[in-house]
Each structure stands twice: as structure tokens, then as C-alpha cells.
Amino acid sequence: MPRFKIHHVTKYSYITPVRDSANQILLFPINDDYQEVIKHELRISGEPNVDIYKDYYGNEIGSFMNSEPHHELFIDLRTEVVTKSRLQPTDEKPAEEQWLELIKIRTQFPYIDFLKQERFNSLNNAKSVVDSLDSNISTPLQATKKLTEYVFINFEYIKGITSVETTLDEVWNLKAGVCQDFAHVLLEMLKIINIPARYVSGYICPNKKGMRGEGATHAWVEAYIPFYGWLGVDPTNNCFVDDLHVRLAIGRSFIDCSPVKGTYKGTASHTLEVGVSVSYEDGRTSDEAPAVLTPQPKKPGVQENSYRKYMEMIQQQQQ
């Protein structure tokens, strides 16, 4: 059972003092049968009281307020997580029986939330791709593998080509992006064939072979496989999710899982720096893990207002 040390730092700096900063953080790794949080230390500048509650999807959320004038907001997470291997689905049930099971549950909670299509002008093009792969003839597990592989092969992994404002249609046309883009595309393709699919945010840990997105915030998909449950698939790396992925939050899309977001009163001019380091207990680290805070790029020509038009810089561009 791998044990990982994760250090995740977020820093907002403001040219002039701001006040009434209200923030929400999803920086509490999931605790369940496959993941155990051994240590969790959260330090926030100003030492505000943090109210912790669970959201609709079962994620732990912290909320805090800083009403006093301040020049920066610093959020420092240090956590240790043990991950456990999980049995993969055996796919023994007949395909027809599995697809019928998906039809039975499509109007039930919580699956109904994870079947709703996003607004997507290229949906017909995506349906044509799904049809060409004969995805609905395979079992749901086989179809999930095919679609995950399609995204991995046909979408180029390029850092910086997209931002949190990039639409799903833009990603589809670019055929490029980073992990959150790959996840969003796969989500919609799975929903076309009535496989419930949800977005997962977290971290991907280093291994000998190397994986895209190591040492950074990462994103992937969980597809619901009949008679098995939620199966994690990573289209950025074309693999099943096992004990090298640390789950932070689940939701319908990135908006539900943003690690840090908030609003404040004051200047719109600010800088955002993010640093993530992931290491094994013995100190091994990913070569890609940033050792220091790095500025996050802004979309050219976008004018922000003091209340953060874009979900208050939903922040950390995932890699």
C-alpha cells in the first residue's frame, strides 16, 4: 500500500489591500475503503475559522471569511494518504443484461445527475465517433475502455493551450488540452451511451514508468459499471485508476471540484501562484513536481472584476 506525502500551496497576492474575502476549499482527500488519510494539516493566512461540511456529492468542503484588509491569501495543505489497490471488474455478465441494468437506473439517484449532457454543439459529431466504435455493442466496461483509448489517442496533451474558460466545443475542435479537458470530453462520450460518468479531481503520484500530470493537480473520470460500481479511468494516461491516484473530490465537472474558489472586495489586479509536490514516504518525488510556487497564466485580454467573474479564478489549471 503506497503512502504519499502531498504538499499543495495556493497564494493570491493583491496590489492594494482587499477585504471581505469569502472562500471555499476542497482540500480534504476522500477517506474510504481505498484511500486513508493519515495526516492532514491546513494552514491559512490570518488563521480564520474554517467551517467544514459535506456537499451534495459527499465531498468535504471548508469555508472561511477574512473581513480585514489584507495583501495576500496563503493556503498551505500538507497531507499524507495511503492508497489501496482495488479489484477490477470481471465483466462476466452478458452484455445485454448489463445494458438493461443501465436503462433501469438512469432515472435513479445519484446516477441521473451523472447522465445529464452539457451544452455541447459538437454532440452529433461525438455521437458519430461513438457509433463508429460500436461502443453500445460491447459491454459497458469494453465501451469505457474504447472511449478512454479514443480520447488518449486523438487528443494531444499540450499544457497551456486551454484555460478554465475554454469550452467543451473548443476542446473538441482543438483536439488538444490537459487532463481536465480530456476528462470533460470522455464524460460526454460515456453519457451518449447511457453510462453514468462523474468528474474526479485529485493528484497523480509518481511511478517508474512516468505518467502525464505527475506532481500536479490532476483529473480523471469514474464510470458506473453494472454489477461492479464506480470505475476510475484516466484518459490522459489511458489507464484504470488504482493506487497511484489520490482522490480529492467528485462532481459533475471541474466546477464542482475546484480546489479553491471565492470572492472579495477590492482591486481586480492580483496574481495567483500554485505549487504541488507529491512524494512517496521515503522521499522519492516526481520529476515534474514543482518545488516552488509558480504563477498561473491569465487569459489574454480578459478583464476581471472584483468579484471574480470566472468563479473567482477557479484557479489551479489542472495538468
Note the CATH number of domain 95-256. 3.10.620.30
The length of the chain, given as a count of residues: 319
In the chain, list all ranges with CATH 2.60.40.2250.
3-83+258-295
- pLDDT digits 0-9 by tens, 274-302: 889 888 765 554 443 444 466 655 544 44
Beta pairing class for 156-157 and 176-177: parallel
The rounded distance, in Å, linking the Cα atoms of 204 and 198 is 17
In the chain, list all ranges with CATH 3.10.620.30.
95-256
In DSSP terms, which residues pair with 247 in a beta bridge?
A: 202
The rounded distance, in Å, linking the Cα atoms of 84 and 184 is 26
The set of residues, in sequence order, having a beta carbon less than 8 Å from that of 131 and lying 6+ positions away, is none
- pLDDT digits 0-9 by tens, 5-53: 999 999 999 999 999 999 999 999 999 999 999 999 999 999 999 999 9
- pLDDT digits 0-9 by tens, 176-205: 999 999 999 999 999 999 999 999 999 988
Which of 116-120, 164-168, 238-242 shows the lowest mean pLDDT across its residues? 164-168
The rounded distance, in Å, linking the Cα atoms of 274 and 98 is 43
What pTM was estimated for this model as a whole?
A: 0.88
In DSSP terms, which residues pair with 229 in a beta bridge?
A: 225
What residue has cell string 488538444?
Answer: 176
Amino acid, res. 142: Q
What residue has cell string 469514474?
Answer: 222
CATH classification number, 3-83+258-295, choose in 2.60.120.10, 2.60.40.2250, 2.10.109.10, 1.10.645.10: 2.60.40.2250
How many H-runs (helices) and E-runs (strands) does the chain carry? 6, 15
